[in-house]
Structure 1
Amino acid sequence: MIQLGKLAEIVSGSNIVRLSESQQDRKYTMKDFEHDFYTMKLADPKNAIIYQQSSSMPHVSAAILSDANKEKVISQIFAIIRIDVSRLDPWYLCYLLNQSQKIAQQCSRCLQGSVIARLSAQQMKHVEIPLPDMNMQKKMGKLYATALYQHYLEVMQANRKLDGILSVLRDIDEQKRG
């Protein structure tokens, strides 16, 4: 086990109240985060990892920033994690932050007694992660990112089918009325 802070630089986002109007227009949103989460398989592994500091969705707290979102302004609900990719695979780290019960327990202990459940960048640096050899990290990370992306594609396909059926039903309903 090694502390995440020994492998990464972690910086909290900006207070959105202090952002200029042009920065507000380039603000990273929860929709951006959800997109980056499910499509992180396509992201450049050199891009930073975005971490949701106060997660409202269990098992969804870290993703690799997409090229489309990497220049956006990050609010204080997120932190940016820049890792040493020669020692830590980014998809493996996302897998750990999103799925590891041991890491979830460490984070939960940090939040005990907090009124607002928010894990600061400083607290994240002390989270201990397992560090298998790079080959194993890459296998696990690739499998995780691929599974998320396949799930995303299946959901998108199911939504298109549902939209098609609903469109047909609306047409039938309009014909009955007309």
Structure 2
Amino acid sequence: MKIYLRDTVKLIHGHNSSRIKNSKSEIYRIEDMTIDLNSMYYLPNVQENNYKQSNDKTQIGQLMFNLNTYQAAVISKQNSSKIIDQNFVQIVIKDNSLDPIYLCYMLNSSNMIKRQESAFSQGVAVKRMVPNDILNLSLPNIDMNQQKKIGRIYALQIHEEFLHKKREKMISSLVNQILQNSIEEKENK
């Protein structure tokens, strides 16, 4: 059995950044989404945050969806209280019927969702996915415990990939420094 997002979520659209009056406000950007995606492993039980709806600012535990990259992330503490711009929609889960990290996994990595997204973009001209298309996506109807397990494993996988990339950068930097020091020693002799 499938469930449709239109029955379980509500979308709140971001603001046009040129119309944001307070220039001192921080705007939620794609870089912030990357940080949030890598930080999901450290989130507390976001199901209990109850998704208090905010008209224009991010809050810990909210699920954000980027309309340009079709990527989702759950807001971390580091990126709370930022203004949501027009490239994002906030996905508010009604009645705690879906685990946000599970839904994040489904939107980011599920082949089932990728096929549906692809169907929305087919035609003579490549069409961008619009917020209404998100509401027409369907998911398998699985119980909350299974959703939480899938979400937790997904968050762990993303975190492990992040740590692996960080380690690779550190090793590369260390090797480059050793090589540079070796060259400098040869030049000084």
**Structure 1-normalised TM-score?**
0.86
d(CA) in 2 for partners of 1:124, 1:113 = 18
Post-superposition offset of 1:19: 2.1
Do 1:54 and 1:117's aligned partners in 2 also have CA atoms closer than 8 Å? no
Q: Which residue of 2 aligns with 1:79?
A: 89
Asked if residue 177 in structure 1 is aligned to residue 187 in structure 2, the reply is yes
2:67 aligns with one of 53, 59, 80: 53
Deviates more, 1:107-116 or 1:27-36: 107-116
Q: Which residue of 2 aligns with 1:8?
A: 9
Cα distance in structure 2, aligned partners of 1:134 and 1:117: 34
Unaligned runs of 5+ in 2: 50-60
DSSP-derived class of the 2:11 partner: strand
**Rg (Cα) greater in structure:** 2
Task: Give the AA of the match of 1:49.
Answer: L
Which blocks of at least 5 consecutive residues in structure 1 are unaligned? Answer: none
- In structure 2, what residue type is equivalent to 1:157? R
Counterpart contact for 1:51–1:63, Cα < 8 Å:
yes
Q: 1:106-128: per-residue Cα shift (whole Å, max 9, x none)? A: 22222334967532222211211
TM-score with structure 2 length normalisation? Answer: 0.81
Matched-pair contact (CA < 8 Å) for 2:65–2:91:
yes
The aligned residue for residue 162 of structure 1 is 172
Note if contact 1:11-1:121 (Cα within 8 Å) is conserved in structure 2.
no
Alignment match, 2:56: none
Letter matched to residue 11 of structure 2? I
Mapping for residues 1-178 of structure 1, pairs under 5 Å? 1-20=2-21, 21-23=23-25, 26-44=26-44, 45=46, 46=49, 47-55=61-69, 61-84=71-94, 86-113=96-123, 117-178=127-188
Deviations 1:20-67 (A, max 9, x none): 3223xx011222111111221112423111111121xxxx71111111
Give the number of equivalent residue pairs.
172
Aligned partner of residue 186 in structure 2, secondary structure: helix
SS in 2 for 1:96: helix
Structure 2: distance between partners of 1:8 and 1:128 = 12
Counterparts of 1:107 and 1:164 in 2: how far apart (Å)?
Answer: 42
Deviations 1:110-164 (A, max 9, x none): 2334967532222211211112011111111111111111111122122112111
Structure 1 pair 93–85 and aligned structure 2 pair: CA distance change class (3 A): farther
**Structure 2 counterpart of 1:120, which letter?**
V
Q: Does the 8 Å contact 2:120/2:127 carry over to 1? A: no
Q: 1:7 to 1:113 in 2, by over 3 A?
A: same
The answer to whether the 8 Å contact 1:110/1:123 transfers is yes
